Amino acid sequence: MSLASSSAFSSLASLGWDDAWAEEFAPYAAQGLVPGRVVRVDRGQCDVLTADGIVRADTAFVTPHDPLRVICTGDWAVVDPDGAGDPRYVRTYLPRRTSFVRSTSSKRSDGQILAANVDHAVIAVSLAVELDLGRIERFLALGWESGAQPLIVLTKADLVPDPVTLAHLVQDVETTAPGVQVLPVSSRTGEGMDVLGAVVAGGTSVLLGISGAGKSTLANALLGADVMEVQEIRDVDGKGRHTTTTRNLLALPGGGVLIDTPGLRGVGLFDAESGVGQVFSEIEDYARECRFHDCAHEAEPGCAVREAVERGELPERRLDSYRKLVRENQWIVAKTDARVRAEIRRDWRLKGAEGRANYAAKRGGRA
């Protein structure tokens, strides 16, 4: 019988414990330590669900200078066994399969890890207000970069009773999110909830979105109980207050695990080059046909991307959003990577030299 299916770990199997995790944990098991999944982190301590139930543990052993290596909701923790000390301690955590990271608003541009070991990134977008496609693209970039499979949930679909209008809204988001399922749902009427429940039953899902997107209501609908606090949304702008203030891991009655997160005011990229490329895959496909490999898709001759815009195949808004996210990601990476900073400066110098040479050639031609 495998460790994942043995009686000692049966309560953890519903949280995602499997043979691969058991194999990773084997050296710690030999030391008498126990595994558990982090369900909540706050003030240097965390709640960890072990085979014997939830324990409170100190995270002093896993507080490195790198903010991306701190203990996080969704981590599989290595914990002192009962009686090994008071308080108990998380000694370390198992290597993460996936991690959802954004940049902080600090001037240091540190990364902040929001959730770990996630299979599905559920992005909640409210239909009570006008769609912000640029924000959706930003969430998607972080979702793809995490290694999880993104899913866009259009909440409050009951506020759009006209099926034709709803279909157009779904199509707009699908165009913005190639390769991503877009699901309109209503926690009030139950529309789409069976499909969403089936998706999240297959692993660990993190629920993301801005305040007022309906995340807490959605979580309650999936849980079948009013576990998460819900507050009224302002009629003026459709925004709400942060009812969820910590990231909580919750076991769903239909199977699977849900990590609910506070509403995000800022969704900054953090080293998300591949995620951006996935969101704008059609632009990157066009870019392979550009005459110059380092084409900026602005005014260069032989730019296949600009030609696609002129033919009406690629919306100008998509290209503008792509440029914005690429620049933002380059800036974040440059602030944390000296080699990248040097490459960017070298690129600027080369382009500056080319510009001066072109200007001198033009003046010489006129002479």
* pLDDT of the residue at 233: 43
Contacts of 180 (CB under 8 A, 6+ apart): 140, 150, 151, 152, 174
Give the mean model confidence (pLDDT) for residues 202-212. 89
pLDDT (tens digit, 9 = 90+) per residue, 112-152? Answer: 788 999 999 999 999 999 999 999 998 999 889 889 999 99
Task: Tell me how crowded residue 180 is: count the other CB atoms within 10 A of its CB.
Answer: 21
Task: Tell me how crowded residue 281 is: count the other CB atoms within 10 A of its CB.
Answer: 13
Q: Which helix (H) or strand (E) holds 122?
A: strand 120-126
Residue 44 · residue 58 · CB < 8 Å = yes
Separation CA 34–CA 79 (nearest Å): 5
Q: How confident is the model at residue 207 (pLDDT cuts 50, 70, 90)?
A: very high
Separation CA 2–CA 10 (nearest Å): 11
Which one has a higher pLDDT value, 194 or 233? Answer: 194
Mean pLDDT of the chain: 81
DSSP alpha helix (H) spans, 151-303 = 163-176, 193-200, 215-223, 273-279, 281-287
pLDDT at position 165 over 70:
yes
DSSP alpha helix (H) spans, 14-108 = 19-29
- The single residue listed with the structure tokens 């039953």 is 201
Which one has a higher pLDDT value, 122 or 212? Answer: 122
- Asked whether the whole model's pTM tops 0.85, one would answer no
Supply the DSSP string of 260-312, one letter for each residue. E-PPPS--B-SS-HHHHHHHTHHHHHHHTTSSSTT--SSS-TT-HHHHHHHTT
pLDDT at position 272 over 80:
no
Which amino acid, one-letter code, is at 50? T
Which amino acid, one-letter code, is at 144? W
Query: How far from each other are the two terminal CA atoms of the chain, in whole angstroms?
Result: 87
Q: In what order do the strands lie in the sheet with 120-126?
A: 181-184, 149-155, 120-126, 204-208, 257-260, 248-251
What pairing do the DSSP bridges indicate for beta strands 149-155 and 204-208? unpaired
Contacts of 82 (CB under 8 A, 6+ apart): 52, 55, 88
Sign of the alpha-carbon dihedral angle for 282, 287, 288, 290: positive
Separation CA 262–CA 103 (nearest Å): 15
3-state secondary structure of 320: helix
